[in-house]
Amino acid sequence: MKNRMFSLPYTPGIIDVIEELPTKRINDIYFSDNAFGSARALSLKPENYSELYELREKYGIKLQYLINGNYYSNEFYEELDKVLAHIKQVDPDIVCMNNTYVMRDHLFMSALRNVRNDGKPLEVKNSVNNIPRTLKDVMFLVEVLSIRSIIVDRSLNRNLDELKKIREYCNSLNIPITMLINEGCIVDCLWKNIDDMMIAQTNEKSNMKVINIVHQKLGCTDYFEEKPQQYLKTAFTLPNNLQKFDDLVDIYKLAGRGVPIEKWLKLTKAYMYEDSSAQLKDLFSTKPPNILMNTSADELTDVGFNKVTENCKNVCGTECTLCDDVLIKLFPRLKR
């Protein structure tokens, strides 16, 4: 098993289970709060921050703070001094952001990189939601926006040829690459912009019952129930196939902020220990269709899933229907 490094999502209770994991292989734990359009249903309390700081102090795990709002008020651009003050108060080691206007503000970015209380330079990463899926995209982030730590697009889970080009370029500049490997999102999803805005505008006063009904009944959750083969076409990699990224990726990022700690531990163990017996219901932040819930990585591998998706370039439904074939091999009673 290669000594792979991981970026893990925050959920309350990590401190109680962290020693069940190889802590030296945890690069960082990432989190956000309700500031700057980065909201989640999870709202951090003082005890959550205390837990994060304890994880850093006791285990040397970096803290990554996300400012990934897909909704910004225009007033945001008049309050960048408040953004810096808030980040200084949070005191992370890494900041991840997706606002490319702000990234091009060289004075702000210089102040951001020097905002830490201990005087060490702050690492600044782009967001996966910037969708850097080509070498050209990555070059723009580096050469125009001065980003020196890259999170690539989800689609590159299944486009090794392009990832190799990006790796060669990043190697020449000593830039690390992070890959999100378990989100289970549709490539070029037409729900995603609205979904991200729903997330960004969620707060403690939101009617989560209505929001959840809209999300589950009118979005991808119900769509996957109708067409389970489409779930196999989303941009994820199984825990027994991480070796395909050897020498291409520096940090493996897992999705799952705010999930119950029991699920968090299962999915984290599955990927960190490359558990091929893990079932899909325990691996992804996006809910699999019921028919695939108890399917294991081993079972998918046995019917050729890893082989057909390794470098397929996400040309689903236009040039390729192999995931449809995989589903039929798993469940012969189904018809296309």
| CATH at 279 | 3.20.20
Which residues, including other chains, have CB under 8 Å from residue 315's CB and lie 6 or more apart?
none
- pLDDT the model gives residue 284: 92
The count of domains in the chain is 1
Q: What is the pTM of this model?
A: 0.93
Other beta carbons within 10 angstroms of residue 121's beta carbon come to 12
- pLDDT the model gives residue 92: 96
335, part of any domain: no
The amino acid occupying position 174 is N
- pLDDT the model gives residue 213: 81
Task: Tell me the average confidence (pLDDT) per consecutive run of 10 residues in the chain, 336 residues long.
Answer: 90 97 98 70 82 98 85 74 92 94 93 92 95 97 97 96 98 98 88 75 74 81 92 95 96 94 97 97 92 97 95 86 93 79
Domain span at residue 53 reads 5-330
- pLDDT the model gives residue 106: 92
Q: Residue 72 and residue 94: Cα distance in Å, rounded?
A: 21
- pLDDT the model gives residue 186: 86
80, part of any domain: yes
- pLDDT the model gives residue 1: 60
214, part of any domain: yes
E-assigned strand segments in the chain: 5-9, 26-31, 62-67, 94-97, 123-126, 150-151, 177-180, 251-253
- pLDDT the model gives residue 96: 95
Helical pair 160-173 and 135-143, crossing angle rounded to 10 deg:
30
127, part of any domain: yes
Which residues, including other chains, have CB under 8 Å from residue 309's CB and lie 6 or more apart?
158, 232, 322, 323
336, part of any domain: no
- pLDDT the model gives residue 273: 97
Q: Is 133 helix (H, G, I), strand (E, B) or coil?
A: coil
